[in-house]
Structure 1
């Protein structure tokens, strides 16, 4: 742990953006040296929590009281109740993700999000304390637009491109979560194949230019329209350097695994060893932004994830949600990097969801 007279990287990061925890374990969150803002999760985190001995009684209780219900209804109530336990440990919202197996089904995504909303209401959790994560597909973001109109906050997730970010703006999402690394960077057996390990992620990581493009696009849209743009909650980090880079690039928040949070807390902050430095949190995410720092300006001129990029930015005048999100889907399919990363993320979460289905159906059979 850093000496008391010297800030840790975690303390410094919290000065520059909102630190969120990407974990559902109450004991861990309680042990954190700072109080996180939001608690994020996904199907993989829920599945880990379902398997924990500490949640065994909860799973059995809900399965018993919901006899005759389908497994997803049982899963949803359990996930909500597990999140509710953490509300006093955070200052912001808990986040749960709609079924990834229905990422291309607007009606099914709407139904699952509304079920989450109903379960949060049943549990006494107000809408300003939770947010529903929606995969950033055409059908998914059409569901997000409806949900926002109903007063249910959404976050566009599995996001890897400027076009997806623009579509999230058109849907009115509260936030987005661009993944800094693709999902399989978190699989130790595949990490070396997909993780671009860097010492200066801002200038060396292939996702950094897209992230800066997204933030600049939102600043421009806010200036032109006066409409609040989604907050950028950067996700999917492997190193301390990447987490610190999120602040330098201007993200409003970063959701971090316990591994990264622990390393940040144990690492003394030394400005002299940082390749760049972020700025304190601004009073408003997009109003009256400071000029883009000189170190970030070159990132607007290239996109390492697009072979032969011509320097043009996606149009913000196209309605990416029309016709079920046809224009968004076409843009994703025309972008091999995004197409692969979205596919892999959904595959990863569907696998976790399937494990959870089997766990819950086993318990449901036992109490039938």
Structure 2
């Protein structure tokens, strides 16, 4: 078996793309999207009719051009999510506007609007994950949404405090980033890392082991990979969301993959005491982690930039 088929036997493989054809080819169980991926997908001929429908929806909802664009972008994100649901058997993540990452109430409002729009479009909300940045405000919004029966994917997760807070909030799934952590350390330390010592791999392994040791039900989904070595080092993780280029590399590789993460291995790992963080402790832990602080802020900024680009693309065609 190639490495992709081997990996699918140990881990739920998730497609990190909005490209329907790529999803059909690699046959993942779930798929994730974000503003950057929606922006790329919106330019594909596959979605031309959906784009026109989104413009019509925006015009119907408001006479104000900015509001029209916002409504059209939501319609487009949900429409792409619905299309992907028709191709994968499992869950699809749709992200809340990154510009709301520090506003709990605004995040809740937008999340509820997206769920309502999924319902309007006749999509399956039981297979929807609302994607929210792992800020304190985002985690608190997700806690409320989970209590309302809306499952959440907490993204842009870079450090252990974020993972602890998400688990205590009872979120359905977290997306700890691997490659972006590696990027930061390579730049800061001026060196390369082997796959086993990769700081992103080490971070996800620690989180996975902690969750399993303390019986948290939150799903760990490694994300943001730079190479297949990071992926194979996390074989056995609950889920791994992988872009088309690396899915292709795995499909072409034949070397045997060893399962690295499992409940048994987690039980045998050094035990970490369970910690419940309040807001002050959470913010202090983030303050003490320059990598997490920088990458979280950068990730939110970049998603916001792509959201604005998408809105401008929509405005140009309204």
Q: Give the direction of change, closer, same or farther, for the CA distance of 1:74–1:183 in structure 2 (3 Å limit).
A: farther
> Residue 8 of structure 1 corresponds to which residue in structure 2?
2
Secondary structure, aligned partner of 2:214: helix
Query: What is the rounded CA distance, in whole Å, between the counterparts of 2:136 and 2:108 in structure 1?
Result: 13
CA offsets per residue over residues 310-335 of structure 1, 9 Å max, x none? xxx686133x3xxxx44322321221
Q: Give the direction of change, closer, same or farther, for the CA distance of 1:155–1:96 in structure 2 (3 Å limit).
A: same
> Residue 207 of structure 1 corresponds to which residue in structure 2?
200
- More helix by percentage: 2
**What displacement does 1:115 show?**
1.1
**What displacement does 1:148 show?**
0.5
CA offsets per residue over residues 62-81 of structure 1, 9 Å max, x none? 21233143122221111111
> Residue 267 of structure 1 corresponds to which residue in structure 2?
253
> Residue 275 of structure 2 corresponds to which residue in structure 1?
316
CA offsets per residue over residues 110-141 of structure 1, 9 Å max, x none? 11111110111112223321101110001111
> Residue 264 of structure 2 corresponds to which residue in structure 1?
290
CA RMSD of aligned residues (A): 2.5
| Structure of greater Rg | 1
Q: Give the direction of change, closer, same or farther, for the CA distance of 1:178–1:149 in structure 2 (3 Å limit).
A: same
Preserved contact between residue 75 and residue 117 of structure 2 (Cα < 8 Å): yes
Give the TM-score taking structure 2 as reference length: 0.90
Q: Does 1:221 align with 2:204?
A: no
**What displacement does 1:212 show?**
2.1
**What displacement does 1:25 show?**
0.9
Q: Does 1:41 align with 2:15?
A: no
> Residue 117 of structure 2 corresponds to which residue in structure 1?
119
CA offsets per residue over residues 59-115 of structure 1, 9 Å max, x none? 122212331431222211111111211213212111111111110011111111111
Secondary structure, aligned partner of 2:206: helix
> Residue 292 of structure 2 corresponds to which residue in structure 1?
338
> Residue 278 of structure 1 corresponds to which residue in structure 2?
259
**What displacement does 1:191 show?**
11
Describe how 1:354-365 pairs up with structure 2 within 5 A. Answer: 354-364=308-318
Number of residues paired by the alignment?
311
**What displacement does 1:166 show?**
0.9
Preserved contact between residue 54 and residue 72 of structure 2 (Cα < 8 Å): yes
Q: Give the direction of change, closer, same or farther, for the CA distance of 1:44–1:175 in structure 2 (3 Å limit).
A: same
Preserved contact between residue 159 and residue 178 of structure 1 (Cα < 8 Å): yes
Quick one: which of 45, 52, 59 aligns to 1:60? 52
CA offsets per residue over residues 145-186 of structure 1, 9 Å max, x none? 11001110001110011110111112211000000021895x
Secondary structure, aligned partner of 1:177: strand
User: Which consecutive residues of structure 2, in runs of 5 or more, have no partner in the other structure?
Assistant: none
Describe how 1:1-368 pairs up with structure 2 within 5 A. Answer: 7-32=1-26, 35-67=27-59, 68-69=61-62, 70=67, 71-182=69-180, 193=187, 197-198=192-193, 200-202=194-196, 204-222=197-215, 228-247=216-235, 250-270=236-256, 277-278=258-259, 289-292=263-266, 297=269, 316-318=275-277, 320=278, 325-364=279-318
Q: Give the direction of change, closer, same or farther, for the CA distance of 1:191–1:238 in structure 2 (3 Å limit).
A: farther
Secondary structure, aligned partner of 2:199: coil
Query: What is the rounded CA distance, in whole Å, between the counterparts of 1:11 and 1:108 in structure 2?
Result: 41
User: Which consecutive residues of structure 1, in runs of 5 or more, have no partner in the other structure?
Assistant: 1-6, 223-227, 272-276, 283-288, 302-312
Secondary structure, aligned partner of 1:207: helix
